[in-house]
Amino acid sequence: GKVNGRNSKLFYTPKMNKMYNSLLLLEGEVNRALNKNEFVLHYQPKINVITGDIIGFEALIRWFHKEKGYIPPSEFIPLAEETGLIIQLGEWVITEACRQHVRWVEKGLKPFNIAVNVSAIELQRSDFAEKVKTIVYETGMNPEYLEIEITENSVMQNTEDCIRTMNQLRLMGISLSIDDFGTGYSSLGYLRKFPINHLKIDQSFIKNSLIESSNAEIIKAMIQIAHTFGLKVVAEGVEEPHILKFIEEQSCDYYQGYYFSKPVPPDEIEALIVSDSEI
Ligand code: C2E
Ligand code: CA
Ligand code: CA
Ligand code: CA
């Protein structure tokens, strides 16, 4: 690691030492949490803008630490990436989402898409598609219902390798989304290179879409161009009815956000699905 080698003196300031220690501590904690089942997945519905129907769910990891309480993914995912533990954690996420889907299908619930978030580090492993294939096979998940969300920036590194992996996943029937679109370095023209199905517009644009007119224009352009490429567009972070109305006017296909539901535990999803199909 970074503490060895020529720069070790530079690195080993007390502050850095503290950071490094907390990294080591966290590494042990994540490992322990994996073994003790402290991680769970919550699910947030994705909604069809026109019909208001649920079309699927995004799985989001939750860590309820037995002493520290809830630790948000924004705190431990970057550290898990740094230590390499994201590989194990990511495998657990995909496996758990597939198992949950199988449990829902076995209960007789109508099958929905389940999306999982995959970090750049996972995607860039040459055996990633093979690993997913094994998980799908071992859990009995129908891959046609599995979706993988990849951030815009992660496909911008080692693009050729990413495209190869993405093609392998598509061949298995898995669908692909570009997450947090608009925050990274890619351009809309670049999207054509990628074998993707959905584009998720980052919530920072959506939230301020009616305050800053430039955001509204950007959203309009994103949706139009995505549609000319045959992609479906998801708006993230829809919290208010007037934002929903605005994205509907822009022909946005799907949305997620607190306006419909926060991410919730699996049993609450079951209640949502049942009440949705009774209407
Ligand atoms: P993301 O993939 O962009 O997920 C959307 C985040 O926005 C989630 O935060 C979600 O709870 C939140 N959100 C959804 N609707 C609204 C809304 O209307 N308003 C507001 N303010 N927030 C909303 P969360 O669950 O804390 O996750 C944060 C990030 O952590 C995710 O961003 C994703 O990058 C990462 N993450 C979460 N779970 C996983 C995982 O299993 N694997 C990996 N690699 N990353 C994950
Ligand atoms: Ca996501
Ligand atoms: Ca996102
Ligand atoms: Ca994000």
pLDDT in tens, 52-81: 999 999 999 999 988 888 999 998 999 899
User: Per-residue pLDDT averaged across 263-278, rounded?
Assistant: 84
ipTM reported for the complex surpasses 0.90: yes
Supply the pLDDT for residue 20. 63
Distance between Cα 3 and ligand 1 center (Å): 32
How far apart (Å, rounded) are the C-alpha atoms in residues 248 and 242?
Answer: 10
pLDDT in tens, 38-58: 999 999 999 999 999 999 999
Tokens read off for 48: 């069809």
pLDDT in tens, 132-188: 999 999 999 999 999 999 998 888 888 899 999 999 999 999 999 999 998 887 777
- Whether the CB-CB separation of 56 and 273 falls below 8 Å is answered with no
- The answer to whether the CB of 237 is under 6 A from ligand 1 is yes
Residues, CB within 5 angstroms of ligand 3 (ion): 179-180, 236
Q: What are phi and psi of 47, to 5 degrees?
A: -120, 140
Q: Which of 40, 43, 60, 240 to mutate to test the pocket of ligand 1 (most atoms within 8 A of CB)?
A: 60
How far apart (Å, rounded) are the C-alpha atoms in residues 63 and 34?
Answer: 10
Output the CA angle 81-87-90, nearest 5 degrees.
Answer: 95
Cα distances (Å, whole numbers) of residue 98 to 101, 172, 271: 5, 14, 19
- The answer to whether the CB of 95 is under 6 A from ligand 1 is no
pLDDT in tens, 82-127: 889 999 999 999 999 999 999 999 999 999 999 999 999 999 999 9
- The answer to whether the CB of 77 is under 6 A from ligand 1 is yes
Question: Exposed (0-12), middle (13-18) or buried (19+): which is 276, by Cβ within 10 Å?
Answer: middle
- The answer to whether the CB of 256 is under 6 A from ligand 1 is yes
**Strand (E) positions, 88-201?**
113-118, 146-151, 175-181, 198-201
Residues, CB within 5 angstroms of ligand 2 (ion): 117, 149, 179
Q: From atom 41 of ligand 1, which residue's Cα is the shortest distance away?
A: 61
Q: Count the Cβ atoms, other than its own, within 10 Å of residue 34.
A: 15
How far apart (Å, rounded) are the C-alpha atoms in residues 210 and 226?
Answer: 21
Would you give the DSSP letter of residue 6? T
Q: What is the pTM assigned to this prediction?
A: 0.91
Torsion of Cα atoms, 77 then 79 then 82 then 84, to 10°: -60
Q: Count the Cβ atoms, other than its own, within 10 Å of residue 244.
A: 21
The atom number, within ligand 1, closest to the CA of 60 reads: 38
Give 246's contacts (C-beta < 8 A, 6+ positions apart): 209, 210, 216
- The answer to whether the CB of 74 is under 6 A from ligand 1 is yes
- The answer to whether the CB of 263 is under 6 A from ligand 1 is yes
Q: Which of 57, 117, 239 to mutate to test the pocket of ligand 1 (most atoms within 8 A of CB)?
A: 117
Determine the 3-state secondary structure of 235 from DSSP: strand
How far apart (Å, rounded) are the C-alpha atoms in residues 7 and 220?
Answer: 48
Q: From atom 21 of ligand 1, which residue's Cα is the shortest distance away?
A: 237
Tokens read off for 160: 């050729």
Give 55's contacts (C-beta < 8 A, 6+ positions apart): 46, 47, 48, 112, 113, 254
Tokens read off for 198: 């959905």
Q: From atom 22 of ligand 1, which residue's Cα is the shortest distance away?
A: 237
pLDDT in tens, 174-232: 999 999 998 887 777 778 889 999 999 999 999 887 777 888 888 999 999 999 999 99
- The answer to whether the CB of 61 is under 6 A from ligand 1 is yes
Tokens read off for 27: 């590494």
